[in-house]
Amino acid sequence: MVELDEFDRRLLNRMQHGLPLVRHPWQALSVELEASEERIRQRLQELLDDGTLTRFGPMFDIEQLGGAFTLAAMRVPEEQFDTVTEQLNNIPAVAHNYQREHDYNMWFVLATATPEGITETIEHIEQLTGLTVLNLPKEKTYHVGLHFPL
């Protein structure tokens, strides 16, 4: 576990709200955080490299762009869990996956460029793993502003 200093906490708290929507976002952050643009970008890269951050990038409403996403789950035998995790991690459509203490113990999100891509990806996962995928498409969208103060 990486020890976060005061700068890291200010940086990560700020980045949870996204980059400023201005012509020069890094410059605006530089002024706001009283740090050079280079220091900000370098520290974000270090936090990605050491695993403190798992992702840094834009969030798109894939459905507005013609794509699709869904929540999915599988019952994975414990002795196969690491193998199946690695298999899923190598599929670009898998946004993230996580283990739960439940009969359906592996949950993941699929995001594809087309609605048909969801079906194709689920079929591919089932062929690859030999396991059945439970597809749980959303019924209604809720927008929740989520922030984890550090």
As for how many domains the chain has, the answer is 2
In a domain, 145, yes or no: no
Domain that holds residue 116: 68-136
Q: Are residues 41 and 90 in the same domain?
A: no
| 12-54 per-position pLDDT tens digit | 999 998 899 999 999 999 999 999 999 999 999 999 999 888 8
Q: Are residues 132 and 72 in the same domain?
A: yes
Q: Are residues 84 and 129 in the same domain?
A: yes
How many Cβ atoms are within 10 Å of 96's Cβ, its own excluded?
A: 12
pTM of the model: 0.67
122 φ, ψ to 5°? -60, -45
In a domain, 89, yes or no: yes
DSSP-H helix ranges across the chain: 6-15, 25-33, 37-49, 81-89, 115-129
The 3-state DSSP class for residue 20 equals coil
CATH of residue 94: 3.30.70.3460
How far CA 122 is from CA of 14, 20, 29, 130, in Å, comes to: 36, 37, 41, 11
Q: Are residues 116 and 82 in the same domain?
A: yes
Average pLDDT over residues 109-118: 95
| 55-99 per-position pLDDT tens digit | 888 877 888 889 999 999 999 999 999 999 999 999 999 988 899
| 128-146 per-position pLDDT tens digit | 999 999 999 988 888 777 7
